[in-house]
Homo-oligomer: A and B are copies of this chain.
Amino acid sequence: MVPTIKDVAKHAGVGIGTVSRVINNQKAVGEKTRAKVLGAMKELNYSPNNMASQLRKNETKILALLVPIINHPFFARLAYFVEDEADKFGYTMLLVSSQQRVEKEEEIISRIKRREVDGAVFVTHFMHEEEELKNCPIVSIDRDFGGKTPYVTSDNYEATKKALKYMIERGAKKVGFLGSKPIVESEVMLREKAYLEVMEEYHMPVRMVNQVMQHGEEMAIVADFIEKYPDVDGVFVSGYTLSQVFHDNMIELEKNIPEDLQIISYDGMFKQWSTNNMTCVEQPIEEMARQAVRLLVKKIHNEETGVRTVLKTKLVLGSTTR
């Protein structure tokens, strides 16, 4: 039914090797021969079967992106740019939402082993046997897997310090930290570290809720924070959805923002169209995505890469700080 390279070869009166060379645009083909083959391909409406060439070449030209949940602004944006950058290198993107399930993450690793994908970008929450990852082309975001696996992150530590000091300079006296703790060691934890250090430096008591949280449990965490620290006048919120929930709650409680309460979030609200924006630490998501893909492509080709890539964030001023 579907024409194969053999049909094309017969139709054009050449060998299949020659057809293959035409398909792959190799130069060692005479002009006339090439024309004949091209003609036959058109006539038969031929498309090369990729599975076959993949098997021979041992590559799929597919990258996997593993995110905790695609239905989340941060990860959706990340996916957008990963796909765009991958495309530039001729790769397509297989998207896997782990839904916080460890099996899904392991599945990706076995996919790489089975040659279903050439490599993967991990934004992950679970532990993996270092051994498993040793030989896999993987790049991680915000997380150091401990070996030579390259990872891309933003300057969590410096950015958090800067944000906190910004609020304090503008009068915040009771400064809180609201976040969701990653399950595994991750660069994100540097935000907590930065907070604790700043509190110590300014001799302020710690007002922190920073727990492991599932997507969807934002309200409970926020309620917990509000109950414990009703009198804060400056809050650093780590994470996009959490900051939205917290902000909405404060509005409902009719807090005067920023007069009585300043808020800065890590990962802002990307409302390009509104003037009513939150002050936030904006991560260079696009650049993180592109860097990750570039590193991955290098790894796939066994080229050298650095291990840690740190990209600069930006403190974007909005209406939630004085």
Residue of B nearest to A116 (CB): B50
A97→B97 CA distance, assembly (Å):
16
We find that the number of chain A residues with CB closer than 8 angstroms to chain B is: 50
Residue of B nearest to A80 (CB): B71
What per-residue 1/0 map shows which CB atoms of A44-76 lie under 8 Å from chain B?
000111111011001010100000011111001
Residues of B within 8 A of A271 (CB): 244, 248
Residue of B nearest to A104 (CB): B87
Interface set, chain A 125-178, CB cutoff 8 A to B: none
A76 touches B83 (CB 8 A): no
A273 touches B244 (CB 8 A): yes
A48 touches B114 (CB 8 A): yes
What per-residue 1/0 map shows which CB atoms of A200-238 lie under 8 Å from chain B?
000000000000000010110000000000000000000
Residues of B within 8 A of A71 (CB): 73, 76-77, 79-80
A115 touches B49 (CB 8 A): yes
Residues of B within 8 A of A84 (CB): 97, 99
A47→B110 CA distance, assembly (Å):
8
A245→B275 CA distance, assembly (Å):
11
Residues of B within 8 A of A111 (CB): 92
A97 touches B83 (CB 8 A): yes
The reply to whether the CB of A95 lies closer than 8 angstroms to some CB of chain B is yes
B113 touches A47 (CB 8 A): yes
Residues of B within 8 A of A276 (CB): 248, 251-252
A62 touches B248 (CB 8 A): no
What per-residue 1/0 map shows which CB atoms of A89-127 lie under 8 Å from chain B?
000111111010000000000110111100000000000
Residues of B within 8 A of A94 (CB): 62, 92-95
The reply to whether the CB of A302 lies closer than 8 angstroms to some CB of chain B is no
A71→B83 CA distance, assembly (Å):
11
Contact residue among B49, B70, B115 (Cβ-Cβ distance under 8 Å from A114) = B49
B93 touches A95 (CB 8 A): yes
Distance in angstroms from A213 CB to nearest chain B CB is: 13
A274→B251 CA distance, assembly (Å):
10
B76 touches A70 (CB 8 A): yes
A69→B272 CA distance, assembly (Å):
16
Interface set, chain A 242-267, CB cutoff 8 A to B: 244-245, 248-249, 251-252
Residue of B nearest to A79 (CB): B70
Sorted from nearest, which 7 A-B pairs have the closest CB atoms?
A71-B80, A76-B76, A95-B95, A248-B274, A47-B113, A50-B114, A245-B273
